[in-house]
Structure 1
Amino acid sequence: MTDTKAWDTYSQQKPERRPTNAAGETTWFNWTQYPDHGPGAEVLGVGPGASVLELGCGKAGNLAHVATLGVRAVGIDMSLAQLKAAEARWGDVDGMVLRHGDAVQLLADTAEDLDAVYSVFGALWFTDPDDLLPVIRKRLRPGGVLAFSQRPPVEGCYGCQASYINRSEDEDPLVVKRWDYEPERWVEILAEHGFAAASARVLPAPPGPRKVGTLLVRTHG
């Protein structure tokens, strides 16, 4: 099974973003798996004229919001199904560019310097950091921000793990790889790859039955 097939399947399962959030906004940024929870695009520290790249943009809800800030907002995803859904919903947003392909390859091939790179449950979770972090570091401007979020690791399960995308009951799930580390280990990994002033923390889940928080990591080039 290929990653592309897995993410096309995931696209069919993932619900569409609501027309508006709790504040009545038509675009917004959400780092966590919970609606109307956690910090927003201010984590990226960018303003008008900046160049921003999202790795694993999916249906591009976050990317569309970044574009409304007056930045050049580029998103890359392996799944054409995801990108088609993004184009259908956000195709008229100025400043947003969608690209199909592999995050490591795109960063290796581009000559564009970036003010911020981010991933929300995206490529930073599903790509070997030893492959991805060096090419991010090369393209990130001095002082630029790298930020990403994902689920915290299961206790005792660190490094490369199998992640399953379910299909119908009579089909085996599709398997992709993900990389899970504790917050303090992410800080070490980023330092090993030349990033500075890294911070990593688990944002608690909002009040309610679900207790799994969100790992949020931020660092500078």
Structure 2
Amino acid sequence: MSATQAWERYAAGARPRRQVNAAGASTWLNWTQYPDHGPDEALFGEVRGRRAVELGSGSGSNLAHLATLGAVCTGVDLAPSRTAAATTTWGHLPNLEFVTADAVDYLTDCQAAFDIVYSIFGAVWFTDPVILLPLVCQHMRSGGVFAFSHLPAATPSVTSGGVVSKWHYPADQWSNMLAAAGFQDVTTTIIPAPDTDKPGTLVVRALAG
């Protein structure tokens, strides 16, 4: 099985997002694994007119929210079915496109510079950071925001051996790696779950130098 096939299998079992959230909004940004929980687009600062890319865009719902706020958006996902579904649902919005590609391949071939690069439980968690982080930094305008989220880790671990690997690092290790890749002003926050018996969410934010 290839990595694309593995993500297609995951996509087949993914639940569709609710049409509206608890506030009645039809688009919103959700950094954690819990509905209506955690920070919103304020993590990026000004959004309107900024060029944004989501690495591992999935259903496209998070990116669509940025598009409604005036950002120029590209979603990158390895699973063709996710790209097709996101385009069907959100393709009517202006300044929003979805492409099927591996995150590293996309950034390697891309000529654009971005103001916002982010990943919510997405490609940053599943791509070798030694390769990905410098590549992201190279494709960002000075002062641009790079942010991502995943489950917290007490100790570093890399899950490999199959077609999909996972780099599960604690906050301090991400901070060191981001600094080494050229990022500045790195902040890491673990957002507690709404139910204290469940795991929180690590959110990492850094600025391009």
TM-score bracket, shorter-length normalisation: over 0.9
Structure 2: where are the runs of 5+ without partners? none
Match of 1:179 among 120, 145, 167: 167
Q: Is residue 85 of structure 2 the alignment partner of residue 85 of structure 1?
A: yes
Report the count of equivalent residues: 208
Matches within 5 A, 1:39-188: 39-153=39-153, 155-156=154-155, 158-162=156-160, 176-188=164-176
Distance 1:92 1:100 in 2: 18
Matches within 5 A, 1:204-215: 204-207=192-195, 210-215=197-202
Structure 1: where are the runs of 5+ without partners? 164-173
Q: Is residue 181 of structure 2 the alignment partner of residue 193 of structure 1?
A: yes
Amino acid at match of 1:125: W
Report the Cα offset of residue 140 of structure 1: 0.5
Report the Cα offset of residue 159 of structure 1: 3.5
Report the Cα offset of residue 47 of structure 1: 2.4
TM-score, reference length from structure 1: 0.90
TM-score, reference length from structure 2: 0.95
Report the Cα offset of residue 48 of structure 1: 1.6
Q: Secondary structure at the match of 2:85?
A: helix
Q: Secondary structure at the match of 1:176?
A: coil
**Quick check: 1:52–1:73 contact (8 Å CA) kept in 2?**
yes
**Quick check: 2:87–2:97 contact (8 Å CA) kept in 1?**
no
Write out per-residue CA displacement over residues 92-118 of structure 1, whole angstroms, 9 at most, x where no aligned residue.
Answer: 122111011111111111111110100
Distance 1:40 1:129 in 2: 25
Q: Is residue 207 of structure 2 the alignment partner of residue 220 of structure 1?
A: yes
Report the Cα offset of residue 175 of structure 1: 5.2
How well do the aligned residues superpose, as a CA RMSD in angstroms?
1.4
Q: Is residue 190 of structure 2 the alignment partner of residue 202 of structure 1?
A: yes
